[in-house]
Amino acid sequence: MIYLDNSATTRPFDSVVEAAVRSMREQYFNASAAYKPAVDVDREIRACRKCIAVQVGAREDEVIFTAGGTESDNLAILGYAMTLHQSANFVVSSLEHPAVGETVQRVRALGHEVRELPIDARGIVDLAAAEEIIDEHTAFVSCMQVSNETGAIQPVAQLSALAKRKNPNACVHVDGVQGFMRAPMHMGKMGVDLYALSGHKIHGPKGVGALIARKGVRLVPQTTGGGQEKNLRSGTYNSPGILALGQAVCEMSRRAGEVEHMRALKQRLYAQLADLKEVRVNGPLPDEEDSAPHILSLSFDGVRGEVMRNALEGAGIYVSTGSACASHKQKVSSTLRAMGLTGEQADGTIRVSLGLFNTIEEMDETAAQMKKMFALLSRYRRR
C-alpha cells in the first residue's frame, strides 16, 4: 500500500500511540483534581502547551486545547463575533475550509457583513484586491496558512499588515491545520492573533487540537461548564489526546529535516509526470517558495479525478480528489473554480499529500502507475 492522502489524516507515530496508551493505563487521573497523580498529569499537559507555543511564537498560557481544527476555527470566529456590540465586517478568503466557510455564515446571521477575498490563478490571495476590500470597518480577517487543496502558502504576514494598517484593532485569524509545522509560523512576527491546529494532520491523534489566542483577544466561549481552559473551553481534559498531541509535536520537531524531505518527494513525483502535456499542476510549482512541501494538486486532461483515484486504488495507491471533508459531496471545488479552472479541469483533479512515512520509491511507483492509468483511461476521453 502507498498512502498519499496525508492531508486527510496521517498515520500516528508509534511514540504517539504509546503516549495515548500510557495515559489511559497509568495516567488516567483527572488533571483538574488536587492530589499528586492528577497534579502530575496537569504538569504534563502544561508541558504540551509549552511545546506547541514554541512552534508558533506564542506563550504557553495562550494555548487552548480543543477537539480539533473545526472546533478551534468555530471558537475563534464565533467567539470573536459575539464580543462585538455593533455590526462590523468580516473578511474571509475564498479558499477556506468549510470549518471557516460555513461558520462565517453564522456570523452573517448575527448581523455582521462578510466579504470574500479573491484568489489568483495560482490559488493565492490577491493582495491588490484585499487593499480595496479591507477597510477601517473591518473587524476580523481570516485566511488559511496553507491551502488544503493546492498546497499554496498564503501571504499571511502581508495580509495581517494590510488589515492592521486599515484598522489597528482588526483581529487576524489563521486556519493552520495544513500549515502547522510544515510551513513557517511566528504569530508575533506575522501579526496573527488566532491560530488553529489539529493533531491528526501531524502524525498525532484524531479528536484533539488547539486554538492559540494571543493575550488581549477577547472570545465568548462556545462550550460552558466547569471553567477549564480559562473558561474558554469547559470539559474534562482529554488527557490521552493532549499528551499524544504533545508527543507528536515533539516528534515532528525532532524530524524537522524530514519535513523538507517531503518537498524532495513532491518534486520527484512531479518531475516524472512533467513530460505528460495533459497533466497540469494547480497552484505553485513544487520548487516555488510559496508551495508547501506536502501537497500536490494535479489535473488530468480528459480523465475524471474520481476515475483516476479509483484506478490508483486498484493498484494499492491512495490519493483523494480534494478535501476529505467535502469529497463525498461530489461538488466541483470552489477553490479550483476561483483559480479559473474550467468545470472539466476541476473535475479531472486529484490531490497527492505526503507524510513523513513516504519514500522516494513510492514516488517512482506512483508516477509509473499514474502514467499507466492515464494512458489506459484517456482512450475513453470524454467528447
Asked whether residue 214 falls in the same domain as residue 326, the answer is: no
Picking from 93, 49, 55, 81, the residue whose alpha carbon sits closest to that of residue 217 is 81
Count Cα neighbours of 280 within 13 Å in the Cβ-side half-sphere: 17
Query: Using CA atoms, how far apart are residues 320 and 308, in angstroms rounded to an integer?
Result: 9
Claim to verify: residue 275 and residue 310 sit in the same structural domain = yes
C-alpha cell at 269: 513525483
Name which of 357, 352, 196 is nearest 283 in CA terms: 352
Same domain, 21 and 149: yes
pLDDT tens, position by position, for the chain (383 residues)?
999 999 999 999 999 999 999 999 999 999 999 999 999 999 999 999 999 999 999 999 999 999 999 999 999 999 999 999 899 999 999 999 999 999 999 999 999 999 999 999 999 999 999 999 999 999 999 999 999 999 999 999 999 999 999 999 999 999 999 999 999 999 999 999 999 999 999 999 999 999 999 999 999 999 999 999 999 999 999 999 999 999 999 999 999 999 989 999 999 999 999 999 999 999 999 999 999 999 999 999 999 999 999 999 999 999 999 654 544 555 678 899 999 999 999 999 999 999 999 999 999 999 999 999 999 998 876 55
Residue 297, domain CATH: 3.90.1150.10
Q: Which of 224, 170, 181 is nearest to 52 (CA)?
A: 181
Backbone phi and psi for residue 348, each to the nearest 5 degrees, phi listed first: -95, 20
Q: Are residues 209 and 304 in the same domain?
A: no
CATH number, domain containing residue 97: 3.40.640.10
Q: Which of 314, 310, 331, 313 minimizes the C-alpha distance to 322?
A: 331
Nearest Cα neighbor of 155 from 125, 129, 183 is 125
The pLDDT value given to residue 380: 72
The active-site residue, picked from 48, 143, 171, 325, is: 325
Same domain, yes or no, for 127 and 58? Answer: yes
Domain count, the chain: 2
- The C-alpha atoms of residue 266 and residue 352 are separated, in whole angstroms, by 9
pLDDT at site 382? 55
Query: Domain span at residue 165?
Result: 14-254
Q: What are the two backbone dihedrals, phi and then psi, of residue 119, each rounded to the nearest 5 degrees?
A: -120, 160
The closest of 116, 126, 114, 115 to 152, measured between CA atoms, is 126
C-alpha separations of 326 from 278, 320, 323, 333 in Å: 26, 11, 5, 9
Q: Cα–Cα distance between 194 and 153 in angstroms, integer?
A: 17
Residues 85 and 196 in one domain: yes
Taking each helix axis from N to C terminus, what angle separates 14-25 and 239-254, rounded to the nearest 10 degrees? 150
Query: Which one of 193, 228, 254 terminates a domain?
Result: 254
- Using CA atoms, how far apart are residues 140 and 299, in angstroms rounded to an integer? 34
106 in the same domain as 28: yes
Question: b/e per residue, 373-383, with b = 16+ CB within 10 A?
Answer: bbeebeeeeee
Which residue, of 204, 225, 254, is where some domain finishes? Answer: 254
Residue 35 to residue 354: CA distance in whole angstroms: 43
Q: How far apart are CA 122 and CA 124, in angstroms?
A: 6
**Contact, 258 vs 202, CB < 8 A?**
no
pLDDT value for 260: 87
Residues 80 and 137 reside in one and the same domain: yes
Q: Are residues 140 and 248 in the same domain?
A: yes
Residues 213 and 265 in one domain: no
Examine the domain organization and report whether 231 and 271 are in the same domain.
no
The runs of H, that is alpha helices, within 218-304 are 239-254, 256-273
Of 222, 239, 254, which marks where a domain is finished? 254
Per the annotation, the verdict on 51 as an active-site residue is: no
Residue 130, pLDDT score: 97
Q: Which residues contact 32 (CB under 8 A, 6 or more apart)?
A: 38, 42, 226, 228, 236, 237
pTM of the model: 0.95
Task: Yes or no: say if 240 and 270 are a contact pair by the CB < 8 Å rule.
Answer: no
- Among the listed residues 329, 319, 240, 307, the one whose alpha carbon sits nearest the alpha carbon of residue 27: 240
**Rg of the Cα atoms in the chain:** 21
Bridge partners, 352 (sequence order): 296
Cβ-based burial of 12 (10 A; exposed 0-12, middle 13-18, buried ≥19): buried
* pLDDT score, position 379: 81
249 and 374 in a single domain? The answer is: no
Q: Distance (Å, rounded) from C-alpha 212 to C-alpha 160?
A: 16
